[in-house]
Structure 1
Amino acid sequence: MEAGGGDAAQPETGKEGGQASRGVGTAPKSRSWAEVAKGVPRQSAWTSHRMPPRVLEMLRSTSAEVVDVPEEELEGSRAEWQSTTVIVRSLGRPVPIDWVAREFKRVGRLDYNVECFSLMDGFIAVRFAKEEDREAALKNGPWSVAGQLLAMERWRPNFVPGVGGIDRVVVWLRLPRLPLDYWRRETILRIAASAGNPLAVDGFTEQGGRYGFARVKVELNVSNPLKPGILVRGKYGGAEETFWQGFIYENLPAPCSRCGRIGHSSSECGYPSSVGWRGGTGSGPREGEGRYRGGSPGG
């Protein structure tokens, strides 16, 4: 069973619970006070509680009214979160916080229950009992709950959900069709570094037990465009040869086909088109390369 909010229910006609169709001249049924009281509350014009970045910057430079909070006043509350807490968000559908808590406890083999607190806009605060448990969680991964990949960063002061981004994610990166003479740990890490920050090589790759593709754990910043691959140049007999090395990101949602970022579709994209993506120019991946395993399409 996968978590996630469904599409908003559309009003139906002629069915119980929906908007029943009325014949001409039929008087509307009066509602009791109890029915009125249980109705949908009136929504404020400021329902999102968000301030667009441009407006916020303008207010910072022009508004004379601001609440100053002394740092010493915040020291106590910050100490409760500073060394033991991470902020998590799903890169796909929302996941229940109790599932997240159970997964951290299971993978970390912890002898206590991790605390999870639901924030706004899909963000979750996860608090461990010890700093070393938090640091171990950051080094582990990739973290996936109910098939949804999680982005995770250390909690930081003044973090505002939905405004401060959580963009660090650990994924497995595949290098398909890697030539046999490039199958060295330092060479594999060198190539993977063009996609993100390489953290480790998996056991099969390290031991040379599988040569279909190399597999590297990398740290990505998903606010940046994802690379579908990279050109690799090597010398042999004094001559240079260049080939295209495609990338496969395991369990990442498919990126926007226009800009290469995840989290939105091409119809919603506000970024300029990136070279090398579908419809772009330059050297692109062969069929089967530059793919994203899992997730839902982003464009």
Structure 2
Amino acid sequence: MASGERSSEKDGRIFAARPPDRGKQRRITDFWGPVINTVPFPVATGIPGSAEMSHPREETTAGRKQSYAAMARRSMPNIDDLPDPIRAGNLTKIMIPQEAYEERLQSFSHALIGRVNFCFVSMDEVRAEAKNVWNLKGKVTLAPLGKGFILLRFEVEGDMAAMWKRGPIKVKGQIMRFQRWRPEFNIHEDPVQTKLVWIRYPELPMEYWHEKILLSMGKASRCPVEVDRRTIQGNMGNYARVLVEVLLSGTRVEEIQVERKQPGKDDLFWFKQRILYEDGIERCTSCKKLRHLAEQCRSKRNTERQPAEEDRRPGGTFQVTKEEGGAPRSEEIPTKSS
């Protein structure tokens, strides 16, 4: 047996150039065994530096391998068919393809804009909340827009409407508000300026309680969302109720004129209808403050009420004004000590 060779005591095979035995340390031959390949490895073409390899996921055309770059180039539109830029002095204009823009708009048909304070909650926590808590029927895609704004695109229209009506919601203790997505939304110029409010049409005759009629009337308040279920069923006859999206600032329409034609005639019939907003943001005509009406104004009641007597204190006095013979007279009456 040549130098450097050692015979195996088990099967008598000879292995060349084996390292010397190191006691209890396992030898490389202890790891030899059959190898079963379940996934084929890429096989190079044999050309040094070549990036082309056979792969089971690659498509083939007429026996020829298609690389990813080739497939990407095939899916791109023809650049020569796109509009060319127009240079007008120092300005360069681009007329974008209208059909491409309208096609992209369709992907935002079930979209909302949300806003949350990212100083206290992360985007991953918002995604986890949407997946585990919102109980959506379809998928939702969330994309941060900056300054706390989030774009939410829902797969199912019902999920979008449900979250819009449910808001504002809490995510990890932080308030998240929603508004409907609209074209040309800009996080620097368009903060959240709208909210959903239920409005009432008090004493509206029930022959007008039709969904199309009420939604048409709701457009006077801005953007109607839905009609109350009890209104459609006619369970409450003293007022009709519609959910609308209104602006947080600006004036609100508080009365409209409803017009229609007489059945079978061209004569015009009209009536005026009041609108009440249920969000509690009413403007007092007395003190000019918000969140209460003039009938609830404390300042107005205090002004109209005559100070007939002062606060009674133990051992003090209060004044009572009396009129005798047309001349007012005041006298002090001591209070009883408790």
What range is the shorter-chain TM-score in?
A: 0.3 to 0.5
Question: Larger strand proportion, structure 1 or 2?
Answer: 2
Structure number with higher relative contact order (C-alpha < 8 Å, ≥ 6 residues apart): 1
State the TM-score, normalized to the length of structure 2: 0.38
TM-score, with length taken from structure 1: 0.42
